[in-house]
A = this chain, B = another copy of it.
Amino acid sequence: MKAYKEMSREELLALKEELAHQYEDVKAKGLKLDMSRGKPAASQLDMEMDFLDALNSASDVKTEAGVDCRNYGLLDGIPEAKKLMADMLGVTADQVIVCGNASLNIMYDTIARSMIFGVLGSTPWCKLDQVKFLCPVPGYDRHFAITEQFGIEMINIPMTQQGPDMDLVEKYVNSDPAVKGIWCVPKYSNPQGYTYSDETVRRFAALKPAAEDFRIFWDNAYVIHDLYEDKSDALLEILGECEKAGNPDMVYEFCSTSKVTFAGSGISAVASSKANLDFFKKTMTIQTIGYDKLNQLRHVRYFKNIDGMKEHMKKHAAIMRPKFEAVLAVLERELGGLSIGSWTKPNGGYFISFESMEGCAKAIVERCKEAGVVLTGAGATYPYKKDPADSNIRIAPTFPSEQELALATDLFVLCVKLVSVEKLLAQ
């Protein structure tokens, strides 16, 4: 393959014409596909329908300690569910509160709580002139949407394969008392699928924040979401590292079973120090009498324990892996050597991150949409939806069927080529 940049103007013009023809042909097919969100496929959900049988009218609905899960009580979750979610994160049950159906909701509430009530006795953030959050980029759009809604100023921190640029993180956190938090997806990061290195985690744990109420929002969304049995990433457990480093209260860790059982009908958890959890519970006990304990029990009965949950994740991986591999194969075959894009090859998570030539991402996504394939909006992986280089595109291969995915990926690489040629011609 010849890199596009090395082509003559004539070669590019000829190529453009050819690609434009191909594009019109695909457009004529009238595709209607969605690769925009990290949603499990129907086949993944079909595979686990027996989850719905885990509790039925013949079930014992009491916890081991005898609490009736059909009635009010147990604000912080049933002990068995605390154990299960703790094992997922590699922490202990007393470091965990099990909540409702979405960890996003816990994160939102945690920010809201900090705005109104402060953090462990600090000034409520809404009373401050300035509150800033560090945002590793590219990152998760729903994180950025929360901080944006609360008027929190977001600062881009470039991601590396080892995690966020820690020199920058340390510079901001250790010097600016307005910096109150950082959003992290430490394992199989959204969208790149990078896992923070041990050194990165240790540098996080060793931060010396200028703000006493600085917190790391550690969204461990893909903690057990490996694609391969023989090459899964390992992430250092951060609560323990922070404690060792003398920063026991610096992290809030989040996780859920949204992509373990049913999306939107899972259970979620937050893990942190006793001081933080006690503070959480002071507001939680006013906000709710308790979360859905029957759904907690349903999870416990279905998986039995963390080993059962991990076995279950292998079934998800078996369905997802071929999709990731198919997309990667097409990218390599069609774009390899052209120097018009690069992409990540994650060992887990829900996304592949694509970097186009500068200034091309929006146009590529637009072209795909015109031909019937919806991708995550270009820019969505950056705060304020502003990708300064206009180059990042998040690919979510899981939701479409394998056949749909093949069609969508073919269209995607075609659009990458077409937009890249147009860009080069315009230069």
A residues with CB within 8 A of B: 37, 39-40, 42, 45, 49-53, 55-59, 61, 68-73, 100-102, 104-105, 108-109, 112, 115-116, 124, 126, 142, 145-146, 149-150, 262-265, 283, 286-295
Contact = CB atoms under 8 A, between A and B. Distances in A.
Contacts of A71: 39-40, 42, 45, 262-264
Given A42-B71, A102-B288, A264-B292, 11 more contacts: A45-B71, A70-B265, A100-B292, A101-B291, A115-B116, A116-B116, A142-B289, A146-B287, A265-B294, A292-B292, A295-B295
Nearest to A109: B287
B262 A70 contact: yes
Contacts of A72: 37, 39, 263-264
Nearest to A37: B72
A104 B116 CA distance: 18
A52 B49 contact: no
Number of copies: 2
Contact of A288 (B53, B104, B265): B104
Contacts of A287: 104-105, 108-109, 146
Nearest to A290: B264
A180 to B, nearest CB: 16
A262 to B, nearest CB: 4
Contacts of A263: 70-72, 289
Contacts of A145: 286
Nearest to A115: B116
Contacts of A68: 42, 45
Contacts of A116: 112, 115-116, 126, 150
A262 B39 contact: no
A208 B51 CA distance: 52
A182 to B, nearest CB: 19
A70 B45 contact: yes
Interface centre among A40, A55, A70, A109, by most chain B C-beta atoms within 10 angstroms, is A70
A52 B42 contact: no
A63 to B, nearest CB: 13
Contacts of A59: 52
Contacts of A288: 101-102, 104-105, 108
Contacts of A289: 102, 104, 142, 263-264
Contact of A291 (B56, B126, B264): B264
Contact of A52 (B57, B100, B108, B283): B57
Nearest to A285: B145
Contacts of A293: 264-265
Contacts of A100: 100-101, 292
A287 B101 CA distance: 12
Contacts of A262: 70-71, 294
Contact of A295 (B45, B149, B265): B265
25 contacts: A39-B72, A42-B68, A45-B68, A45-B71, A49-B61, A51-B57, A52-B56, A52-B59, A52-B294, A56-B56, A69-B265, A70-B264, A71-B264, A72-B264, A100-B101, A101-B288, A101-B292, A104-B288, A112-B116, A116-B126, A124-B126, A264-B291, A265-B292, A265-B293, A292-B292
A142 B285 CA distance: 9
